[in-house]
Amino acid sequence: MSSNQAQFIEFALTANVLRFGEFKTKAGRMSPYFFNAGLFNTGSLLDRLGAFYAQALLEAKKAGRIEFDMLFGPAYKGIPLVATVAMNLARLGCDVPWAFNRKEVKDHGEGGTVIGSPLKGRVVIIDDVISAGTSVRESVSLIRAAGATPSGVLIALDRQERGGNAEVMTETSAVQDVEKTFSMPVVSIANLNDLLEFMDQDSPAAQAARPYREAVAAYRAKYGA
């Protein structure tokens, strides 16, 4: 686990975006933890979140995992995310274009569905998590229709969880399905394995989370991909 991953998990816990307890997921499973990126809801929180995204993307690029010429944020959660990632990348000396889409086609003004820089070159999709992969599929279609190349997806947290529902599960996760279907990498700031490793550390945040480690580990054993 890198320092960026550990600091991000502590940041998410401190901001109460990553919580422990009993939460019902979209798949109908009872999860001992919940991550809600919508709670990064102040300017300072969003700015710091963007810094973690930017660092993760640059680390992945340095490692040869991903290449990009611009960023794209799918409506709606991806819109503030792509903006803060672009700004934080610029602070780190990597100033790239960015764009996002609107759900409804606009027939006046600038028109169309894509706002911002024209989609071209290698485009990284910025999102919070991948559950069913719907927003990724829609983004890939938009990017390809513009003649550009989707080169990867950058998310905050990879739950590393098998798809399906509480009764019937697939063998792979939504992230793995996206990677296989579109032949492109999915980079996350942190994943469930990182969270479990973090909970073994000696920081105050890790110690506060440790009572839930057994439940999280059991969930990973049952539903992990």
Could you list the active site residues? 106, 108
Residues in the chain, overall count: 225
What separation in angstroms does the CA of 188 have from each of 54, 57, 121, 193, 208?
A: 11, 9, 22, 12, 24
Residue 160 near residue 197, CB atoms below 8 Å: no
For 94, other C-beta atoms within 10 Å of its C-beta total: 14
| b/e 28-37 (16+ beta carbons within 10 angstroms → b) | ebebbbebbb
